[in-house]
Amino acid sequence: MDEDGLKMLVKLTQDGDLSSMKNHMQTCGLMEAARDKHFGRSGDTLIHYAARHGHLDILEFIIKEVGTDMEVYNNDYKRPLHEAASMGHQACVSYLLQEGAKVDSLKKADWTPLMMACTRRNLDMIRELMEHSADPFLRNKDGWNAFHIACREGDPLVVRYLLEVAPDVWTSESKTRRTPLHTAAMHGREEVVGILLERCDYNPDHKDSCGVTPFMDAVRNGHISLARLLLEKHQASPTAADILGVQPVHQVAITGQDQALRFLVRELHVDVNQRATGSQLTSLHYAAKEGHVSTIKTLLDLGADLHVRDKKGRTALHMASIGQHAEAARTLLQLGLEDSQDASGTMARQLAKKSNIMQVFNYI
């Protein structure tokens, strides 16, 4: 079979040039290939290309005249309906549904066309899928349903619509026990969080399998106004701990959210030297371990104690040395010079030597 001819057939399909595509097929005798051929590593067929690029006339031609099965799938088990829904091509979605495409077909990782549509802020397309009996309660391999995905994307119209047509859809949890509220909080979808707090009966401090609450998700990602909303409207706890005993004040140090640190310590009066119950690490330990220099400075400005030790006897200086974070170690030494002279400093020097950042100590 002529490879150049096949490449041109794919190109004309992707470009949406129906007239040239028809002529090329007839001239080169490619009708059978147009119907059945899977191309490249993806295993796409022409109907996949047409649906993905939103070429309704070519889609109709391939189904009606070429005779391609609309349920044909590629190597990811995507059907044409998945392609059209994921790219937001509503006309193609409408046509495929009218022609009888299976509305809840599953691609790899068990994603449905409705889930794909929820990655787009297109209420009309989602409504059409639902009117063709799409099931919003189906879950993908991670345990997410379409509502989780809608909450991640953050379109309040879509979220309200799904709650209207499927009032219990909010109750679903992922395989790691994360709720749609966790998802919306993590991604900073404040308006959606407001809807969820208004319409859904979530436990204020519902924990996922790692012990993380929606408030933790919000604050460690720097979504402070959303965190305030969870405090004011949901009575979330600013000091709840995950399964390792790590609190929000520690988590924001890990992610380097300086403004969130100020919010927790100055506005909510969280103890800046609070220890994680398992490791006895403080926020300063965590910031040093991650090498967040600005966060170290913020913590010291908020009253963090340089000399606090974890259960293994390590200070923040040790953590910076272990992590080979030269600038963090330099900052800690400059702000607490006495540490370089005592037993703590000796231990840190030994760790630094092993970590190839000894030059930091030599210049202090």
Cα–Cα distance, 303 to 270 (Å, whole number): 12
The C-alpha atoms of residue 219 and residue 25 are separated, in whole angstroms, by: 58
- The tokens describing 308, both together, are 């606090």
Whole-number pLDDT of residue 340: 47
Give 109-128 pLDDT, tens digit per residue.
Answer: 999 999 999 999 899 999 99
3-state secondary structure 298-338: HHHHCCCCCCCCCCCCCCHHHHHHHCCCHHHHHHHHHHCHH
**What is the rounded distance in angstroms from the CA atom of residue 87 to the CA atom of residue 76?**
16
**Rounded-to-integer distance, Cα 208 and Cα 142, Å:** 13
Find tokens 């046509």 and name the residue.
95
- Which class for 268: exposed (0-12), middle (13-18), buried (19 or more C-beta within 10 A)? middle
d(CA 190, CA 218): 10
For residue 1, CA distances in Å to 6, 32, 33, 301 come to 8, 11, 9, 72
Domain annotation for the chain: domains and CATH numbers: 1-104 (1.25.40.20), 246-364 (1.25.40.20)
- CA–CA distance, 361 with 333 (Å, rounded to integer): 8
Q: What is the pLDDT of residue 121?
A: 87
Separation of alpha carbons 175 and 172, rounded Å: 10
Encode pLDDT of 159-189 as tens digits. 999 999 999 999 999 999 999 999 999 999 9
pLDDT below 70 — which residues of the chain? 1, 337-364
In the chain, % of residues over pLDDT 90: 90
Q: How far is CA 337 from the centre of its chain?
A: 42
Structure tokens at 281: 């690490």
Q: How far is Cα of residue 36 from the mean position of the Cα atoms in its chain?
A: 36
pLDDT of res. 2: 83
